[in-house]
Chain A
Amino acid sequence: MSKQTKNRPPDRDLAPTIQKLRLRYAKRGRLRFSSHRDFQRALERALRRADIPMAYSAGFNPHPKISYSNSAPTGVASEAEYVEIGVTAMCDPDKVRRELDEALPPGLDIVEVVVAHGSDFAHRLEASLWKAEIVAPRGEVESAVAAVLASPEITVERLTKAGKRSFDARAGIIQFTLIDGETGAQTDQNADGCVILHMVVRHITPSVRPDDVLAALKQVGGLVPQKPVRVTRLAQGPLALLDEVNYTVGDPFDLDRVSA
């Protein structure tokens, strides 16, 4: 069937939600500079373009049923962002993944789609695993990490819409791991060293974002990277102990898959 024409069944906008789908998407490369609002607009357009049978809210100004989970800050890349949508017909999650991915610009990529099971999704997102590519001597990163872990509390400041706010960044920090052998994108251009630091951060209120952790590393550890640090969210999900000392961030879709 030609893509040139659109099928909009007459009563679609009034139809009830038949199925809920959970989407995992990635924000990659240059599109990591898109803000959450930018992504929202792009997704809504992509849903129309891909002809996903969206459910709409009732009312004078109906809007598609989409709910977003905590999104990565502008400028931070991510492999693990989550969205839930309501549709008015049973859909094949793989087909939704494919069609929607194609309707989005490259760099905003739909990684996986599952049929939603359970309504506790937000609770599953307990923590994030962030990757930071830091251009600095390894020793400096190591000592900064040690200094942060040794501090019981680190008050950092962040500029919000409501003005400057200070809060404890240490409270969210669970674990740092220096990764050996892996090369970050920045090493390609900068052979003199880019340290890959994995950071497990718990989702608490007020939220501790990667730049807050970097601020903490600077504040108590004196770490001042030579270039802006590139950060990527690698995972978001339930926090679990890997062994006695090491934490891991699990896959929040596990529960959906089990039930399917």
Chain B
Amino acid sequence: MTSQALDHRLRGESVFSELEMLLPFVGKPIQYVGGELNAVTKEWNDADVHWALMYPDAYEVGAPNQGVQILYEVLNEQNRVLAERTYAVWPDLETLMRENGVPQFTVDAHRSVGDFDLLGLSFSTELGYTNMLTALDLAGIPLHADQRDEHPIVIAGGHAAFNPEPISQFIDAAVLGDGEEAVLLITEIVRTWILAGRPGGREGVLLELAKTGCIYVPRFYDVEYLADGRIQRVVPNRPDVPWRITKFTLMDLDAWPYPKAPLVPLAETVHERMSVEIFRGCTRGCRFCQAGMITRPVRERSITGIADMVENGLCKTGFEEVGLLSLSSADHSEIADVARNLADRYEKTQTSLSLPSTRVDAFNVDLANELSRNGRRSGLTFAPEGGSERIRRVINKLVSEEDLIRTVTTAYSAGWRNVKLYFMCGLPTETDEDVLQIATMAREVIRAGRIASGRRDIKCTVSIGGFVPKPHTPFQWAAQLDHESTDSRLRKLKEAIRDDREFGKAIGIRYHDGKPGIVEGLLSRGDRRVGNVIESAWRNGARFDGWSEHFSYDRWMESAEHGLDGTGVDVDWFTIREREYTEVLPWNHLDSGLDAEWLWEDWQDALSEVAVDDCRWTPCFDCGVCDQLDTEIQVGPTGVVDLPMPMPRQSQVLISEVSHADGINETASQ
């Protein structure tokens, strides 16, 4: 708990002068002071509704996050609404803040987070849960939602919020899906409640939120368990609260060109560039991919919409690099035209373009070539995800070995020197052999590359991530691989590569051990009982769990033993246990639009090694999203092929419009 030292402050008053005293003693103080270009500060009293938005990781990771930047701007554009940002503080500052009674603060106007009406948290990963607890505690907000009174309403969003059960005791509400319209709806409900004198107190407003059917308020649902530890059912405990909660889906991306004024952090961040989201959703149907499943259907931004956002963003920020962001950027229906037009526009400038795409095909190489016309061709990334053709059918990643070899050959002959390949380990039905084939593949890549490029200094880096089964995917029923087996498989792979005399030196390998994946698995598919584990881990010092130097597996396991004591279930039960179709999953009442039967059939197809196609180009497979949510796929072509060059802007600093030679005389006369 924070000390009482600052309790005489007025609501919304800055705590900067207290914080400032601590900053000379912490690492990279710039991350705590805000002041970014395009940041907004408003008068506290000019707003009815005050939002604190948190990305629960360090500033360097959180500040570039698009989700938070979008919501920040959408909210601040509203009349009488104020939104500020807050990030996780590193342990050095946390200690000093506790010693000096400085509360969790926003970086915009350095207000105490406890003063706000709402605290919205953006979870792209479950590994931010413990950082949320630190922030709540530093803010003086009781950790448990049922002990809060006039404290902020704590709302979780982002991908991890599709199963918020493990954090249900710490949050007041969760939002599934796109946040733009959601935050506006919440704002209106909360505004009405505040202006009406807060009828019904905290419960009153939470009930209003829950009644919408698209905001999940865990306290209005009871979970009943079977004797064997499985869930029996999840039932609303209020008459007017719906049984199921649906996700938000923003349909017209062109109508929401956010962020319009991207933030330009002073501190160095993980993404030193501007991002323009070119579409949402992905229907490739990779069975391990939660993002692909929960963000359906595909909704594209038009080529003109993209070009306008790029140009406007560059003018407002001065960034040198633009990333065209999405789940699988090369899949935009007009991507070739987008790339060519943007490359033309910015060819003679210092602006560079990048397209995070991992598609394994020659088209992807063409795009990368286009975007790096006069730049350096260092590394290109592809994601076959599985080492053997068999396992790729299981995960529905339809890439043949020939495709891959053809693709990398094209890349090496176009001058790329390093090809990065992404894989997963621990996939359902996987054997050692499937993983060992990664080595074979890398070897073939180098062999083909040496021939294609005629050089021996080319490289191939394989990066291997541990597979974690996620809610709302066909693999939600799968058993996760235990960490011992993961480690042994990876060891064998490493040995196979190391022992390869001919190619071993040209192949780099990067992977993590299997332990963190188990904790992620527990948090991903956990239910309400996992909440105690999180709290106990946090009390034992867990912070920044996404950072290997802060993560401790042993701490989590000890905390799990303690936290799950008496429940009859344990970490293995949540992670390495396969589920049956009939089992009530903790997130069954949360509707991502996917039809449970379709998911199950897809899981069965996976086990029989049957692949499905992308519904953008082939007939609909009835995943349920479009029906259920009354949405539809929105893809081009728009018919626009060539964009006009942007209007030339006259530099404002030249001495005169006349030729340079006259310039010197002009100065004298001015």
Contacts and interface: CB of A to CB of B under 8 A. Distances in A.
Interface in B11-39: 16-17, 20-21, 23-25, 28-30, 32-37, 39
Contacts of B618: none
Interface stretch (A3-11, A120-128, A136-144): A3-11
B648 interface: yes
A61 B317 contact: no
A144 to B, nearest CB: 20
Nearest to A8: B349
Interface string A223-260: 00001100000000000000000000000000000000
B653 A3 contact: no
A99 B652 contact: yes
B596 interface: no
Given A1-B649, A31-B33, A74-B29, A91 B266 contact: no
A51 B651 contact: yes
A73 to B, nearest CB: 10
A146 interface: no
B316 A33 contact: no
Given A90-B667, A189-B17, A228-B21, A48 B648 contact: no
Nearest to A3: B315
A165 interface: no
A105 B649 contact: no
Contact of A105 (B35, B319, B663, B666): B35
B200 interface: no
Interface string A87-104: 001111001100100011
Nearest to B651: A51
A206 to B, nearest CB: 22
A3 B316 CA distance: 9
B660 A33 contact: no
B312 interface: yes
Interface string B45-66: 0000000000000000000000
A46 interface: yes
Interface stretch (A34-42, A175-183, A194-202): A34-42
Given A18-B660, A56-B350, A92 B266 contact: no
Contact of A49 (B30, B266, B315, B663): B315
A8 B17 CA distance: 43
Nearest to A189: B17
B647 interface: yes
A95 B35 contact: no
Interface in B625-660: 646-655, 660
B320 interface: yes
Nearest to B16: A30
B28 to A, nearest CB: 8
Contacts of B319: 45, 48
Interface residues of B, number: 52
Contacts of B25: 228
Contact of B348 (A11, A89, A95, A104): A11
Contacts of B667: 90, 92, 115
Contacts of B29: 33, 74-75
Interface string B280-320: 00000000000000000000000000000001101111111
A38 B266 contact: yes
Nearest to B316: A49
A115 B653 CA distance: 13
Nearest to A6: B649
A221 interface: no
Contacts of A228: 21, 24-25
A149 interface: no
Taking chain A's interface residues, is the majority helix, strand, or loop, or is none over half, making it mixed?
loop
A49 B651 CA distance: 10
A29 B110 CA distance: 13
Nearest to A113: B653
A5 B649 contact: yes
Given A45-B318, A90-B660, A90-B663, A7 B648 contact: yes
A74 B266 CA distance: 13
Interface in A28-69: 29-31, 33-35, 37-38, 41-42, 44-53, 56, 60-62, 64
Given A6-B314, A107-B35, A30 B651 contact: no
B268 A75 contact: no
Contacts of A158: none
A4 B312 contact: yes
B226 interface: no
Contacts of B32: 33
B195 interface: no
Contacts of B666: 90
Contact of B20 (A5, A30, A47, A89): A30
Contacts of A103: 37, 318
A1 B376 CA distance: 35
A168 interface: no
Give the 7 A-B residue pairs with the shortest CB-CB distance, closest first. Answer: A90-B663, A45-B318, A49-B318, A5-B647, A7-B649, A30-B33, A48-B318
Given A35-B30, A38-B30, 5 more contacts: A7-B651, A38-B266, A91-B653, A189-B17, A227-B21
